[in-house]
Structure 1
Amino acid sequence: MKEKFLLKLDRINKWRMQKISNRNFLVLLAFVVGIIGGLAAALLKGMTHFIASTLQDDIDWHYKYSFYLIFPLIGILLSVLYVRKFLKGKNFEHGITPIIYAISRKSSKVESHNIYSQIITSAITVGFGGSSGLEAPIAYSGAAIGSSTGRFFGLSYKELTMLLACGAAAGISGAFNSPVAGMIFAIEILLPEFSIPAFIPLLISAALAAVVSRLLYSEPLFHTAVTEWEVQALFFYILLAVIVGVYSIYFSRISQIVKKWFSSITNPYNKVWFSGISLGLMIFLFPALYGEGYLTIQQILDGQFDAIVKNSLFADYKNIGWVVICYTVLTLFAKSFAVLFTLNGGGNGGVFGPSLVMGGLIGFAFAYGMNLTGLVQLNVPNFVMAGMAAALSGVMHAPLTGMFLIAEITGGYTLMVPLMLVASISYLINRSVMKHSIYTKALAESGDLLSYEDKDRTVLSMMKLRYLIETNFVILRPDETPKDRQSEIIHSKRNIFPIVDVKGKLLGIIYSERLFSILLGEEGGSDRTFEQIAQKPNDIIRGDENMEVVMAKMNRDDVWILPVTDRDNHYLGFVSKSSVFNKYRALLVRQGHYLE
């Protein structure tokens, strides 16, 4: 039955390739991906809202609020159990980084189970109060939808990458009801080099996802009435951007520290207990950390400036302005640890949403604090929205995404000039210290980042040494003589011979010119063993070294070919500049057609 279905599918696909060009077919698939991506976004938001509302509103018993402290622990534990019990043998990751890695290293192939597993685990994590965002999981789910659709129809890397980006754009668009931000997110984060035709599929997917999501789940992310910005306040927007830019550097660095610390805990359930209990204690002190944190931002936008304090242990001091400011700053720094503990402890989510919340808190504390001085009166909601754009721009290195996302959320472009300023300044400050964003730093360090700023280095990083090793060489034994192997030496098409002992270890090399000289009697001693006449190679390539190191070794001694061994010096073969250049040329062609 399955074979008949695949045969029929193959016939349909062959007919499609004859009748419909790949470019037109890509547009049709962009429609499909956009609709499915919108459905996935609506499903994720609906599931999360259902779990959260059930725990907070529908269940009514006297001590239920005390359980808020353990709900995040339960959510993280359920997420880990789901992954370990239902996704056995399957790779499960979270965040935007694996999507970028899939484009760079996995030919844009994202495992299909991410379509549903990202939705289930993130809904459980955030619905139970985990302090993370839904945007990264839905982008991952959308990327899996696009990648699976492309692979189903046997599309090439170029089309597969485009559909993956269409799916991610659809996810972001559906999550925020922001089609322009979804499209720009895909371009800035996933497709750093693009051409004009790339806009069309992205526009279609993002627009359809926004329509479908709004039809099924129409509740907007924020309700706000942004007023016109004042020229006199421009200096304060710039000052806010500097503060947020510095904070984004702090958050990027602390995220690496926390990640490294959690990686030292080998037992996954120990991570769950530690992160869950720590998160519960932080929520006890700072209730605004419960869940995504959008509710607190909405209350501030509504003018409830004491909202962040009134449900806490310090509620009695909610009318004291400086207490509100100090408590907001403490909540801000606690949020950075809460989100990192949630994600590294086993919960699923992303830093996209938390970045908005942290930026909003900085904007509130800054504007409200300035107003308390009596020296100036700033529009607090405007600065909250500006802080959100600045944080997203700095943390993600995506100024256009931050700017257009906030513009769409506010329902207009009233704040466009301040948003342009804060987004660009925050980005430049972070970029001056952190060359790579929170998403790409780990990939850059491992050499797995596809970057268009240094194409030579990027192409080299895409190569895998194991695919370039050549093995069709005549292997000589140390106890043999040139006379013993005369026939094979003469008829070999290679001009270099490895000398390898019975244990497989490389003892040396010898070039054909010297062997011919010995066989012709010019050097004499044709009965000497290969061990006696072996030459030491200029250098040795280890099988796990990256291609940048390989080329550096070749260029240092100006050699064309070098032997490859493992860490125990076992002979694996040779790598030559010819094979590297051939692969380099093929990858350049692939990149040239990347987004035509």
Structure 2
Amino acid sequence: MRLTPRRPSFYRFRRQLADTDAIPQLVLLGLVTGFFTAVVTTGFQELIDFFTSLYLPASEYDNYAALEWPLRLLLPLIGVAVIITLFRLLHEPKHRLGIAHVIERLNLHQGRLPLKPFLLQFFAGIAAIASGHSIGREGPAVHLGAASGSLLGQWLHLPNNSLRVLVACGSAAAISSLFNTPIAGIVFAMEVVVMEYTVAGFIPVMLASVIAAVITRSLYGTEPAFHVPSITVTTVNELPLIIITGITMGLLAVCFCRLIVLFARTNTYPLWLRLTGAALLTGITAIWLPQVMGIGYGTLSDIMFNNLGFTFLCLLTIGKLVTSAASIGLGVPGGLIGPSLFIGAAAGSTVGSLTNMLGLSATASGFPAMVGMSAMLGAVLQAPLTALITVLELTRNPGILLPSLIAIIIAWLISSQLFRQQSIFTQMLSADGLDFRHDPVAQALRRAGVASVMSRSLQQLERHCPFEQLQSALKTKPRWLLINNNGKPQSLMPAVELARQLEQLTFDAHYTLVETADLLGIPAKRLEVASIDIKSTLHEALIRMDQNTLDALYIINHDRKNGDAILGIITRADIEAWYQVPH
């Protein structure tokens, strides 16, 4: 292993990305990530629409009630057959996809999303959604967007701390492209996926979301995901409805999440059995209640305009809740944000009909549904701001802002404080045996790469070293001496320690001139060392030190052509000093 000189051009670009304030570089990468994510999610949606059009004409899009009941029963089973075939073709044993997979890779694997799950999510997601499973598009889309950013960073060999930002950029761009909601995409990425707000992360995420929205609007126009009636609301008059809706959504969110986790705990059973069970439940329910199939935007519009009766709304709420929870929990590769909005709208409209019958309110058309959507989403995701902004952008109705805020707070308090419920994605990962806690120190250390803190002031010497070479090395005034033993780095010595001992080492006990010194034998402070890759974060470096009971690491750059090169040194004291300085 050899020391390497400083390199120009792209190496410097990668080195700058190891800093927490590399905003210009991250902005450029965010722009590219937003573009690629928009292309991927657009292709994803177009293929879903193409396959759906094979059995549902454009005028009947998402209207599964137009199909005969045998086809409604068979469609989810056909989709499962395709999904299982894809899993076997790609030899993917873990079966973990979607937003939960993104959060897992972000927290436990430094944001490195593999290619194979990306391909599987793309094609299996198309098969699942096009075959009418009771799931949403946003889960696969966020996975595809996050993986687009991560794979771009891995291809460019960027440091791991910048991969986290690219994952957030892809997640935001996916939501922005899918729902035509750029602000909601930004908030979702920071509140749900990354779970932190920093300026260095926020600016590139904003740009990625905007770029995705611009591309989407240039292709599909500026229309929202679904149309809602225009309403004018007096919050005080509707306060009883808002409070009851908030309480109802909090309780329904708890039921929905616990059902998902209950189904997710069947992960010891074979995948084909779980997927078949989900398909049968959806297909059988759809015989009598076809509106539970698919994304349900058509039905959602009917709910918004009060075109459905009270009894039917009750059945629809229960049917969608059970089929969506089963589909997601049993492993169908789809999202839960769409179903959460659907359940919230149906349940909210149910509460509105009930309060109208009891004379507690006289609500405008669609108002209870909008309030229910926001409250349900906020309680399920444990992300109040994401829910508020999402519904505001989806409906484009500022009059819904204050009522939704009140309902979200009530639903969030009931689910998180009364029932101690975490985000559904955290619960799903826990059901898979993956338990991670959000440590503020770890979050901060993940934002910086080892290259931003390492010391390049070092000389590499062999254990038995001639005095002339020692004197020559000390003339460069290095901070550290990396000592090789049998051709491999073994110890790290402060250069000042050798300078103190050098005069005494010139002669042995008999005052005979000594030509070489044993750098591992002289009385001096030394640190045992191990290697770590240049792309690693400070958090990874600290974990490696803890696992090996070390206080120092030497940083290497893997180069297939020229071999591994040593770039610098990082110590535990360096990491602690970095964390104590505001960034």
TM-score, structure 2 length as denominator?
0.70
Distance in 2 between residues matched to 1:59 and 1:233, nearest whole Å: 36
Cα 1:89–1:326, aligned 2, differ >3 Å: closer, same or farther?
A: closer
Task: Tell me the CA shift for residue 265 of structure 1.
Answer: 2.2
Partner AA of 2:426 in structure 1: T
Equivalent residue number for residue 493 of structure 2: none
Equivalent residue number for residue 128 of structure 2: 125
Query: Which runs of 5 or more residues in structure 1 are unaligned?
Result: 1-9, 306-323, 460-573
Equivalent residue number for residue 82 of structure 2: 78
Task: Tell me the CA shift for residue 458 of structure 1.
Answer: 11
Cα 1:126–1:589, aligned 2, differ >3 Å: closer, same or farther?
A: farther
Assess if the C-alpha contact under 8 Å between 2:139 and 2:336 holds in 1: yes
Whose relative contact order is higher, 1 or 2, with alpha carbons under 8 Å and at least 6 apart? 2
Cα 1:374–1:232, aligned 2, differ >3 Å: closer, same or farther?
A: closer
After superposition, residues 479-494 of structure 1 pair within 5 angstroms as none
Equivalent residue number for residue 251 of structure 2: 246
Task: Tell me the CA shift for residue 590 of structure 1.
Answer: 8.8
Distance in 1 between residues matched to 2:9 and 2:293, nearest whole Å: 50
Equivalent residue number for residue 227 of structure 1: 231
1:340 aligns with 2:325: yes
Task: Tell me the CA shift for residue 425 of structure 1.
Answer: 1.8
Distance in 1 between residues matched to 2:267 and 2:197, nearest whole Å: 36
Distance in 1 between residues matched to 2:144 and 2:388, nearest whole Å: 24
Partner AA of 1:46 in structure 2: E
Cα 1:402–1:592, aligned 2, differ >3 Å: closer, same or farther?
A: farther
Equivalent residue number for residue 185 of structure 1: 188
TM-score, structure 1 length as denominator?
0.69
Distance in 2 between residues matched to 1:94 and 1:139, nearest whole Å: 10
Equivalent residue number for residue 491 of structure 2: none
Match of residue 451, structure 1, among 432, 438, 444: 438
Assess if the C-alpha contact under 8 Å between 1:367 and 1:378 holds in 2: yes
Equivalent residue number for residue 437 of structure 1: 423
Distance in 1 between residues matched to 2:249 and 2:280, nearest whole Å: 29
Task: Tell me the CA shift for residue 71 of structure 1.
Answer: 0.5
1:53 aligns with 2:53: yes
Distance in 1 between residues matched to 2:104 and 2:407, nearest whole Å: 29
Assess if the C-alpha contact under 8 Å between 1:271 and 1:346 holds in 2: yes
Cα 1:52–1:435, aligned 2, differ >3 Å: closer, same or farther?
A: same
Cα 1:369–1:143, aligned 2, differ >3 Å: closer, same or farther?
A: same
Assess if the C-alpha contact under 8 Å between 1:436 and 1:444 holds in 2: no
1:50-94 CA deviation, whole Å, 9 max, x = no partner? 22222122799x985531221111112212211211x12575422
Match of residue 286, structure 1, among 282, 286, 289: 289
Cα 1:154–1:578, aligned 2, differ >3 Å: closer, same or farther?
A: closer
Identity in percent:
25
Q: Secondary structure at the match of 1:451?
A: coil
Cα 1:221–1:352, aligned 2, differ >3 Å: closer, same or farther?
A: same
Cα 1:265–1:148, aligned 2, differ >3 Å: closer, same or farther?
A: same
1:102 aligns with 2:87: no
Give the aligned CA root-mean-square deviation in angstroms: 3.4
Cα 1:287–1:589, aligned 2, differ >3 Å: closer, same or farther?
A: farther
Assess if the C-alpha contact under 8 Å between 1:449 and 1:458 holds in 2: no
Task: Tell me the CA shift for residue 364 of structure 1.
Answer: 0.8
1:400 aligns with 2:347: no
Equivalent residue number for residue 560 of structure 1: none
Equivalent residue number for residue 27 of structure 1: 27
Task: Tell me the CA shift for residue 376 of structure 1.
Answer: 2.9
Distance in 2 between residues matched to 1:420 and 1:88, nearest whole Å: 45
Partner AA of 2:382 in structure 1: H
Task: Tell me the CA shift for residue 22 of structure 1.
Answer: 4.0
1:540-563 CA deviation, whole Å, 9 max, x = no partner? xxxxxxxxxxxxxxxxxxxxxxxx
Task: Tell me the CA shift for residue 140 of structure 1.
Answer: 0.6
Partner AA of 2:54 in structure 1: T
Distance in 2 between residues matched to 1:589 and 1:255, nearest whole Å: 44
Task: Tell me the CA shift for residue 382 of structure 1.
Answer: 1.3
1:511-550 CA deviation, whole Å, 9 max, x = no partner? xxxxxxxxxxxxxxxxxxxxxxxxxxxxxxxxxxxxxxxx
Distance in 2 between residues matched to 1:242 and 1:123, nearest whole Å: 35
Distance in 2 between residues matched to 1:589 and 1:335, nearest whole Å: 53
Distance in 1 between residues matched to 2:255 and 2:411, nearest whole Å: 13
Q: Which stretch shows the higher mean deviation, 133-142 or 345-354?
A: 345-354
Equivalent residue number for residue 463 of structure 2: none
Q: Secondary structure at the match of 2:225?
A: coil
1:354 aligns with 2:339: yes
Partner AA of 2:150 in structure 1: S
Q: Secondary structure at the match of 2:115?
A: coil
Task: Tell me the CA shift for residue 287 of structure 1.
Answer: 1.3
Cα 1:585–1:274, aligned 2, differ >3 Å: closer, same or farther?
A: farther
